[in-house]
């Protein structure tokens, strides 16, 4: 049998599909059709059941999430389904009541972690950004925060913290290494280091001054929200962190930062949030500092996962922004 890393992308997908079929045997559904959807940080397949229900099965990437992070995701999603009427992605329990499946198969290296979710209707919010939808999104974020604030985390649930720029467990830091000097100029390395020197103390200080942190989505933006018949559905809880509302707000607004209607959208988002929970106090400088942290993190990440031409273009753009904010 041909080694997995020598297969074409299509060949790899076909082998991963076989893993999904094997994993689905542990769930209380009868699959009629399993089709490849996409590969982002995870690989996802659509599952059509014989009773007409639709699902998504997600194969987690060992590079982008850990078992502890997957357990945190399942814990909060199941609690949200139990305690609220929020429209969020819903994991499906196995026949034994567990949410995560470990599966291995011939021709695929190692053991894969996977989970099954109910299908989320609609399309990405990206094409439907407006003050109306962002007011609704602000309200949803406030409700998520209100729920998370009330949760007591079991001992085995240990979310990561966004307390430094490179906050993912075992995240490789490559921007200043000889191996990646073809992507980062000396000036860009210096810009990255100035930004990191400003952001790291700010993040660490949040955890000293703001009291008890709680679970936040940490990736809530218009690509991780679906809109269906005017209602918003939140997806992709893979990147949860133990943090503060300001961090979640900063991430959401980060993706609007270069739009001409930013001020109007940000105001609508804040008004929606404030109808459910007090808007946290912060300055524009605080917001920009958190944005710089995200830019530096993404530039380092892009260097590792993108083709050189695409990575260089992305790094150039982020470093230009970093210099502006610095």
Question: Using alpha carbons only, how large is the chain's radius of gyration in Å?
Answer: 20
Domain that holds residue 90: 4-119
Do 140 and 112 reside in the same domain of the chain?
Answer: no
User: Is 134 in the same domain as 39?
Assistant: no
Confidence of residue 251 (pLDDT cuts 50, 70, 90): very high
Among 50, 84, 119, residue at a domain's last position: 119
d(CA 49, CA 62): 28
Residues 219 and 94 in one domain: no
Q: How confident is the model at residue 116 (pLDDT cuts 50, 70, 90)?
A: very high
Give the pLDDT score at 191: 98
> Would you place residue 198 in the very low, low, confident or very high pLDDT band (cuts 50, 70, 90)?
very high
133 & 263 share domain: yes
Residues 90-108: tens digit of each pLDDT: 999 999 999 999 999 888 8
pLDDT at 9 over 80: yes
- Residues 149-161, mean pLDDT to the nearest whole number: 93
Global pTM value: 0.92
Quick one: pLDDT at residue 314? 97
Give dist(CA 133, CA 18) in Å, integer: 39
Strand order in the sheet with 231-234: 123-124, 225-228, 231-234
Q: Which domain-ending residue is among 69, 92, 119?
A: 119
d(CA 249, CA 149): 15
Phi, psi at 5, each rounded to 5°: -75, -5
**DSSP structure class, residue 88:** B
**CATH number of the domain that 60 lies in?**
3.30.200.20
CATH of the domain at 177: 3.90.1200.10
Quick one: pLDDT band at residue 141, thresholds 50, 70, 90? very high
Residue 169 in this model has a pLDDT that exceeds 90: no
Residue 62: band (very low, low, confident or very high) from pLDDT cuts 50, 70, 90: confident
Q: Assign residue 172 a region: left if phi > 0, alpha if psi is -120 to 50, beta otherwise?
A: beta
Mean pLDDT of 244-264: 98
């Amino acid at each position: 049998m041909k080694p997995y890393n020598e297969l074409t992308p299509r060949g790899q997908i076909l082998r991963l599909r076989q893993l999904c079929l094997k994993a689905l045997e542990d769930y209380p559904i009868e699959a009629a059709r399993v089709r490849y959807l996409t590969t982002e940080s995870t690989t996802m397949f659509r599952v059509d059941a014989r009773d007409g229900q639709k699902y998504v099965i997600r194969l987690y990437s060992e590079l982008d999430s850990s078992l502890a992070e997957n357990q945190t995701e399942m814990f909060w999603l199941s609690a949200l389904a139990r305690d609220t009427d929020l429209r969020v992605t819903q994991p499906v329990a196995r026949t034994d009541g567990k949410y995560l499946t470990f599966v291995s198969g011939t021709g695929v290296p190692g053991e894969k972690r996977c989970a099954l979710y109910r299908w989320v209707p609609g399309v990405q919010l990206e094409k439907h950004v407006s003050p109306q939808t962002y007011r609704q999104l602000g309200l949803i974020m406030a409700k998520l925060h209100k729920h998370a604030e009330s949760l007591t985390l079991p001992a085995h649930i240990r979310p990561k913290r966004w307390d430094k720029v490179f906050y993912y467990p075992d995240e490789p830091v490559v921007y200043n290494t000889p191996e990646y000097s073809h992507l980062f100029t000396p000036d860009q390395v210096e810009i990255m280091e100035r930004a990191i020197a400003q952001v790291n103390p700010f993040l660490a200080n949040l955890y000293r001054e703001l009291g008890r942190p709680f679970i936040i989505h940490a990736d809530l933006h218009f690509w991780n929200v679906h809109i269906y018949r005017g209602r918003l559905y939140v997806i992709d809880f893979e990147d949860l962190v133990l943090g503060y509302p300001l961090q979640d707000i900063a991430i959401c607004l980060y993706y609007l930062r270069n739009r001409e209607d930013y001020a109007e959208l940000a105001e609508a988002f804040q008004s929606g949030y404030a109808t459910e929970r007090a808007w946290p106090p912060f300055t524009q400088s605080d917001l920009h500092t958190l944005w710089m942290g995200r830019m530096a993190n993404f530039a380092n990440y892009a260097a590792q996962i993108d083709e050189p031409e695409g990575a260089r273009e992305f790094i150039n753009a982020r470093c230009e922004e970093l210099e502006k904010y610095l």
